[in-house]
Amino acid sequence: MSGLPAHPALVAALRARLAAPLPGPDAQMAMAPLGRRTRASLSVEGKDCRQAAVLVLLYPSGGATSFALTVRQPSLRDHSGQVSLPGGSLDGAETAEEAALREGWEEVGVPADRPDVLGRLTPLYIPPSNFCVQPVVAALDAGFTFTPHEAEVAALLDVPLAALLDPDLRRVTTWEYRGVPTEIPLFALSGHEVWGATAMILAELAAVLEAL
């Protein structure tokens, strides 16, 4: 799982790459559950949906770059118990960047003025919760401490960014959905199965990394 630049060079390269045209649905669909593999099903265009943002937070770890995932508390209303990126609904007139950074503070204790926002990935529609989610990519320098909010976060996962480029960590399982066996692509990351919208967002990030 090597081949990515050192953290400062990676941050600079990602900032430039995120300002260019993105891989979009073609990359997202690689990790979409069977039945959602169409551009129209993933697009936020024309959807009467709740607006949300998630934070893809990159940081130096062990001489490489990692990103943060959270295991959501089983008591939460939306996506309980799932592995997710920090995120939530936009409040009032918030931008996606403001909401993502606020959620980073509320969920994992990173002050909103600390991360350096690098850009956005392609927004994604999530039918089960009727969210239109805007992923925001940001980076931290060394010398920080996460403080997960226990009411929302059951566990904080430190995931090597290079893991997204390891084909052995992309798998497919079959779950029963409404009585029908359904193929679910997933990432096997830090001992957890990462699927659904989070996996689709990370699939596009992986495509961006491959293009650096």
pLDDT digits (tens, 9 = 90+) for 114-169: 999 999 999 999 988 899 999 999 999 988 889 999 888 999 999 999 999 999 99
DSSP letters for 99-165:
HHHHHHHHHH---TTSSEEEEE---EEETTTTEEEEEEEEE--SS------TTTEEEEEEEEGGGGG
C-alpha distance from residue 154 to each of 52, 53, 67, 181 (Å): 21, 20, 17, 29
Residues 107 and 83 sit within 8 Å (Cβ to Cβ): no
Residues 170 and 94 sit within 8 Å (Cβ to Cβ): no
Contacts of 61 (CB under 8 A, 6+ apart): 158, 160
Query: How many Cβ atoms are within 10 Å of 76's Cβ, its own excluded?
Result: 15
2: pLDDT strictly greater than 60: no
Q: Mind listing the pLDDT tens digit for each residue in 89-110?
A: 999 999 999 999 999 999 999 9
φ, ψ dihedrals at 171, nearest 5°: -135, 170
Residue 35, pLDDT score: 60
Ramachandran quadrant class, 12 (left: phi over 0; alpha: psi -120 to 50; beta: rest): alpha
CATH of 7-210 among 3.40.50.720, 3.40.50.620, 3.90.79.10, 3.90.870.10: 3.90.79.10
Please state the domain extents for the chain.
7-210
Q: Mind listing the pLDDT tens digit for each residue in 155-191?
A: 999 999 999 999 999 999 998 877 888 889 999 999 9
With 0-12 / 13-18 / 19 or more C-beta atoms within 10 angstroms meaning exposed / middle / buried, residue 66 is: buried
| Closest to 153 (Cα-Cα) out of 104, 190, 89, 192 | 104
Q: State if pTM tops 0.85.
A: yes
